[in-house]
Structure 1
């Protein structure tokens, strides 16, 4: 039977320099992962990426960082190639990158639409494809989506819409990669207490989101905390391997399907 523990495993995480990606890198290294490659988008985040690498290494794992704009042609394939050169073929691939836009459909420009789908859909598809090419047998593949996939709401058409495609990418990939023992899932957090959330929301919307989940009163911020999500990710990419092809909404009762 395949070994599904994290011990000694090689991990690739996009968006690993900050916020949830950083916490996941720290968490997996603390639970036995052997080598972790983190990707970051903005060259200005190089120091944050190195801080994450130092935290990974403090936990006893080897850490590496790679900067790349994944929307550029060939960039996702190059990321996997670089990761393999640095740390060996990955056992676990986690894509946390995303772009959010809150705007009415009638006010959304073609340029904004293209930018949203470039990050949330095309990069996600390419990441899944390259993971299928490069992951070791019995690997784990996870993509971050959004709990808005279970919402009935205006203004997030391009955000939720561009993430919705990933739900089917996940199902298809789980069927196609399953013969190699690779599990493929997506996780959709609720609104998280990170700068990614606050940049799009007016104060009154923030106030609503902080009371919208069934468990909001038990959260320090009223929102999903990144510390709430990291344990689910750890489980899905280790002992939770038997679950595959699923999109799991983890949000304290914010939305459901």
Structure 2
């Protein structure tokens, strides 16, 4: 199969993530927004009018969101380039299909990352099959997407991802298992966490400065406010751009409030 685009391209999307979901006023969103209602910051060209100032304006939730390319695929492929503004009758199906497409594309991103792991070659054939099957499901109509049993499909793919992770970390002795752990605010500065599994762990506000995180697995970990400054992330597994943006890193720039 051809390489699938798994990164958001807002210029080719009908601003689905700015309309479909509901926002609750919080530290992540400066306003309340009902589902299906355009965000007040959305421009007529389907682009955000404060994109470069989202954090400063109280929309950190938008900064860390990633559709993995689901938005443009729905807009351009599933709905043939049509949009909910020009054809209001498409709004319901487009908005309902977005979370399904997003989860499929996220799963494809994980499988694609697993296929990059040389140690995971024993499961590469099954991973390639899983990638092709997931892409095939994502190519369905809006009605087929909404009927899809995502949990059943994920239950077939997740064991392959876990096996790929185990193979990639097998050479590291005494690796820690923090799967699903509550590590909120935990102080682990400078810790040796090579090959650790943080799959599904809560690391909100944890201190991982200068920690050795080589080959650690961060599948689905909550990294909001996690301090990763100085940490060695060489060869880290399944760390998404969204997770990086949610964490505190060297690239974070303090910008004064307007």
Per the normalisation by structure 1, the TM-score is 0.28
Larger C-alpha radius of gyration, 1 or 2? Answer: 2
Q: Which of the pair is proportionally richer in helix?
A: 1
Higher relative contact order (CA 8 A, sep 6+): 1
Per the normalisation by structure 2, the TM-score is 0.28
